[in-house]
Structure 1
Amino acid sequence: MTNRFLAAILALALPFPALAQRAAPPVPAPVDPAVAALRDAALKDDVAYDIVEGLTTEVGQRLAGTEAEARARTWAVAKLKALGFQNVRSEPYRMPVWVRGEERAEIVSPFPQKLVLTALGNSGATPDAGLTAEVAVFKTFGEFMNAPDSAIKGRIVYVGNAMAPTQDGSSYGQSGVARFVGPGIAARRGALAMVIRSIGTDTHRTPHTGVTNFPEGVKPIPAAALSVPDAKLIEAMAARGKPLTMKLVLTPRQIGERESGNVIAEVPGSDPAAGIVLVGGHLDSWDLATGAIDDASGVAITAAAAKRIMDSGRRPRRTIRVVWFGSEEVGGFGARDYARRHGAERHVVAAESDLGADRVWRFQSSLEGSAAPVAGRLASALVPLGIVHTDGGGGDGADIGPIVATGVAGIDFNQSALRYFDTHHTADDTLDRVDPEMLRQNVAAWTTMLAIVADAPEEIGPVARKSH
């Protein structure tokens, strides 16, 4: 999953201009009865759940660049064709692939206990027999950054954090920095390995994986996330004032370049000059579970909404393009490949679903100028779903980032993230986490948006961007 907070971190490394914020609030407008009918009918949708159930059952985990993700693309093409979409195809590309190996850890002294952890994507490996060393314990990322190199060099570094649940998920960016860049910094400062408290809001013994990146020229060190209870255990041991020794076994490996790809389907518009409305999510997942909320739900929600427009009997003015992006979790390779292939085409709006399947509570957009009335109609039509408009531009998300950066208007639907980071990137990301009623509310929101935006008579032109 990537949302606005991860995107903000990634923007430090990626050459995407930032969104110009503070658009004027939309002016309320009457709701078209045809749009209201489509919205209300979507509250009984079964297509989205069928997609999530099918993808998680018939394919399961879909680690980018592996045989499992290839099976997911084959499944996706067949499914989208069966649903009636046109121009369905897979667009392959090559990418480097990291795979998980053995992962074990234990405190050897002074309080011998086994630990539960999982490797972070791009982690380096210990020797096959493992690595045993003293643990340098830092309860916060700030403590780690302020520590002298002498406290880090030659040790296994532990960094804690305390991620609190928030409705908008904003705590992810603050806590996630320990995972995003921590191991790379630790490696540069001479650490032998790094373990972090999982970036999650649960208290279960299920660690959260996720990608980490090492700066160019820095050799990757073993890097892993402890479950929250095990992280608390480390801190409690350290509080007793005795040196901690850990044995760590991590044997992941880079297996070279493999094929990944994006899956694309369309609802053709009646006016080719009116542009493309791009919607979707990411098809790949981490390998610990079946990726139900991250992001089978997202691809299902957007495809189900597009199908409702397709089946409405009225051809939209603009082409609706549904993209199930590949390899989002490990670095956004699918997003960049899509922009490389299709960046010259006229996209007018882009939106993605990648924050689970709980109720949408807010929407934001960067519809400006002549397109401002479109936002007003959308705001009015979403009120019965309990969705409010708040200030701030739309267009968040790693998969649409490269297209949005070219000046394409963005629309964001924010689901409640109060539960999302309990299971995000864990072995608990399974079908039972998806509430069918909440999923339907998502489909209704997206159906409303597509019904209004794809058929809007107004010109939807480029929006202002600013560089970081």
Structure 2
Amino acid sequence: MKKISILLGILISVGVSLIVNADSKVDELKVVASIRDEALKSELAYDILESLTTEVGHRMAGTPQDALAVKWAVDKFKKLGFDKVWTEPVTFKTWVRKAESAEVTAPYQHSLKVTALGFSIPTSKQGLEAEVVHFRTLEDLIASPQNSAQGKIVFISRKMQRFRSGKGYGPAVKARGNGAVQAALKGAVAVVIRSIGTDSHRLPHTGMMHYKKGVTKIPAAAISNPDADLLVRIFERKKTVKMKLQLNSHDGPEYTSQNVIAEMTGSVWPNEKVVIGGHLDSWDLGTGAVDDGAGVAITMAAAKLIGKSQYRPKRTIRVVLWANEEQGLVGAKAYAKKHKEDLANHVTGAESDFGAGKIYAFASNVAENNLPVVKKMAKLMKPLGIEYIDNQSGPGPDLIPMYQLGMSVFSLRQDGTDYFDLHHTADDTLDKVDPESLAQNVAAYVVFAYVAANSEQKISR
């Protein structure tokens, strides 16, 4: 009986060590460095990403793959041994992609690689054929005479510029978001934009566009960059250009998906949480490996490695896989609405949603008295080739609603030099992901999440 009692005591002791922070004599820097270095050698994130892209594939909001992705995520979290796993409903309108085609019919004959933009209305079943009018930028279209596109298809040819930070996206993407409204105001019957991407492949980039109440809705599409170059060359010959466009995509029924949430429970303040995650949905052309399967895998793996450590951090690590980011941060808004009363317990957060390139820098947006904690992160991230930039960070897309409520945020900045070669295209597949770079991301998220969760000082804005 005495032996059994001793054994039971040992088991209880070991069990407690798995979920409770060690005493104050434990060297936190050594603990975090150890998990960080383990992450660098780990293939867990790549295995998670391989599973998601193989067993589910694309995960466009409202499709059967969306439901499959939710089930996959719940099952994967449980298999990885997270302490808590649950879902929260997110309801939204859907959009269904159908057949799409485009061709130049005059002055020369050319088929074009085209994709409808998200939530575009369809053309008629027969398609539409019209003269094309060319504008280099959205601003040029806006500045043109009132009837400059009357009865015509507007073509916007602005090229996106390549930067490691991805800063070329913002100026270019305005044509995708607002092009249909501005073209319709000038009398156009459709709008076709150069893909918002930096590649030279004949693979068009999809993405969301928007209509405006009171403005006629017109079909909206993107053509591949080489095809946009072709159109520009034809216009340089000063000839009348005509195009035939057929888009059959249309609105679908209302649908309820789920935010999938899981936690590794903190050892001292379990109600306080550090939030990491990515969005579970993707567009439908590829398999969503870089946008945002990588973010899903990186943050799941980081939390798993922290959770299985002998020394749990004081606060809970919460991983949120947001629903339907691509069509308007729908899951993120639902999350913020549900958890706004618990804002004080959302200590800080960071989202991974910029592919799988190595992290080269990080920034914070915290109160000045929290900067010693940031300094500790910087010391632990330096061996990963990551430099601290400043305390002026903005949030990842899905953390915008919580940030607007007042939550502090961090930004772990990935090398996005090639990200927009793949973004929203059929080329967004697993083979584009470098396992070593993915592991470096996991190591960085381990450092951020552990140090933030283990800080004696509560992080705030």
- TM-score of the superposition, structure 1-length normalised? 0.90
Aligned residue number for residue 257 of structure 1? 254
In terms of fraction of residues, the more helix-rich structure is: 2
Aligned residue number for residue 407 of structure 1? 406
The offset of 1:273, in angstroms, is: 7.0
Please say which structure displays the higher CA radius of gyration: 2
Q: Is the 8 A contact 1:363 1:389 kept in 2?
A: yes
Aligned residue number for residue 4 of structure 1? none
Aligned residue number for residue 20 of structure 2? none
CA separation in 2, counterparts of 1:416 and 1:215? Answer: 35
CA separation in 2, counterparts of 1:218 and 1:276? Answer: 44
Aligned residue number for residue 235 of structure 1? 232
Aligned residue number for residue 15 of structure 1? none
Aligned residue number for residue 202 of structure 1? 199
2:209 paired with 1:217: no
The offset of 1:118, in angstroms, is: 0.4
Other structure's SS at 1:417 match? coil
CA separation in 1, counterparts of 2:134 and 2:48? Answer: 44
Other structure's SS at 2:381 match? helix
User: Which residue identity is paired with 1:247?
Assistant: K
Aligned residue number for residue 428 of structure 1? 427
CA separation in 2, counterparts of 1:320 and 1:219? Answer: 47
CA separation in 2, counterparts of 1:31 and 1:153? Answer: 67
Other structure's SS at 2:258 match? strand
Aligned residue number for residue 445 of structure 1? 444
Q: Is the 8 A contact 1:31 1:380 kept in 2?
A: no
Aligned residue number for residue 393 of structure 1? 392
Identity percentage of aligned residues: 47
2:365 paired with 1:366: yes
The offset of 1:220, in angstroms, is: 2.6
CA separation in 2, counterparts of 1:60 and 1:274? Answer: 34
2:91 to 54, 77, 94: 94
2:141 paired with 1:147: no
2:342 paired with 1:342: no
Other structure's SS at 1:275 match? strand
Q: Is the 8 A contact 1:374 1:452 kept in 2?
A: yes
CA separation in 1, counterparts of 2:358 and 2:80? Answer: 25
Cα deviation code 1:58-113 (max 9, x no counterpart): 00010012211011000110000000012211212210001111110111111111
Aligned residue number for residue 71 of structure 2? 74
1:188 to 171, 185, 190: 185
Aligned residue number for residue 14 of structure 2? none
Q: Is the 8 A contact 1:163 1:199 kept in 2?
A: yes
Q: Is the 8 A contact 1:87 1:265 kept in 2?
A: yes
Other structure's SS at 2:405 match? coil
Other structure's SS at 1:233 match? helix
Q: Is the 8 A contact 2:384 2:444 kept in 1?
A: yes
Q: Is the 8 A contact 2:45 2:438 kept in 1?
A: yes
Aligned residue number for residue 265 of structure 2? 268
The offset of 1:393, in angstroms, is: 2.1
Aligned residue number for residue 120 of structure 2? 123
Aligned residue number for residue 332 of structure 1? 329
Q: Is the 8 A contact 1:120 1:211 kept in 2?
A: yes
Cα deviation code 1:236-285 (max 9, x no counterpart): 11111111111000011101211121000001112337621111000000
The offset of 1:41, in angstroms, is: 1.2
* Greater Cα shift, 144-153 or 76-85: 144-153
CA separation in 1, counterparts of 2:214 and 2:373? Answer: 48
Aligned residue number for residue 300 of structure 1? 297
Larger relative contact order (CA 8 Å, sep ≥ 6) = 1
The offset of 1:406, in angstroms, is: 1.3
**Alignment RMSD (CA, Å):** 1.3
1:32 to 29, 32, 35: 29
User: Which residue identity is paired with 2:264?
Assistant: V
1:135 to 127, 132, 137: 132
CA separation in 2, counterparts of 1:349 and 1:99? Answer: 36
Other structure's SS at 2:211 match? coil
Q: Is the 8 A contact 1:350 1:395 kept in 2?
A: no
CA separation in 2, counterparts of 1:89 and 1:459? Answer: 26
2:315 paired with 1:318: yes
CA separation in 2, counterparts of 1:88 and 1:273? Answer: 15
What aligned pairs does 1:147-166 form with structure 2 within 5 A after superposition?
147-166=144-163
The offset of 1:315, in angstroms, is: 2.1
1:175 to 172, 176, 182: 172
Unmatched tracts of structure 2, length 5 or more: 1-26
Unmatched tracts of structure 1, length 5 or more: 1-29, 464-468
Q: Is the 8 A contact 2:146 2:185 kept in 1?
A: no
**Using a 3 Å threshold, how does the CA distance of structure 1 residues 81 and 460 change in structure 2: closer, same or farther?**
same
* Greater Cα shift, 390-399 or 64-73: 390-399
Q: Is the 8 A contact 1:395 1:409 kept in 2?
A: no
Other structure's SS at 1:181 match? helix
Aligned residue number for residue 8 of structure 1? none
2:51 paired with 1:59: no
Other structure's SS at 1:206 match? coil
Cα deviation code 1:216-252 (max 9, x no counterpart): 2334311011100000111111111111111000011
* Greater Cα shift, 429-438 or 365-374: 365-374
CA separation in 2, counterparts of 1:98 and 1:232? Answer: 29
Other structure's SS at 1:149 match? coil
The offset of 1:147, in angstroms, is: 1.3
